[in-house]
Amino acid sequence: MLEKTIENKIKAYLESNGFYYIKVHGSGFMPKGIPDIIACVNGQFLGIEVKATGKKKQQSPYQKIHQKMIEKANGRYILVDTVKEVEDYIEKL
């Protein structure tokens, strides 16, 4: 499945459950590697990096840096290629 399709399903899931989120659109004005979706779920900061189906191993070095920075600040970060992974992760929070 395409990354955009998965992102849209994740956004629909977050919205339907009343969670705050923003979709980050990369540009020359944004630092490289910021998660695709930034959310607040049950008071927890959550960075969601979305990949097309089967592409999870293609996390960039910049994305890995942001993952480490978010986790060091006690935030949460997930790398997903399905909406089910997001649902399962949030259920455990």
Q: What is the pLDDT of residues 23-66, one digit of tens each?
A: 998 788 889 999 999 999 999 999 999 999 999 999 999 999 99
Residue type, 18: G
The pTM for the full model equals 0.95
**Whole-angstrom distance, CA of residue 55 vs CA of residue 80:** 9
- CATH assignment of 3-92, given 3.40.50.300, 3.30.70.20, 3.20.20.70, 3.40.1350.10? 3.40.1350.10
Beta-strand ranges (E) seen in 1-93 are 20-23, 37-41, 44-50, 76-80
The pLDDT assigned to 37 comes to 98
**Whole-angstrom distance, CA of residue 32 vs CA of residue 18:** 28
Largest CA distance in the chain: 36
pLDDT in tens, 65-78: 999 999 999 999 99
**Whole-angstrom distance, CA of residue 7 vs CA of residue 1:** 10
Domain extent listing, the chain: 3-92
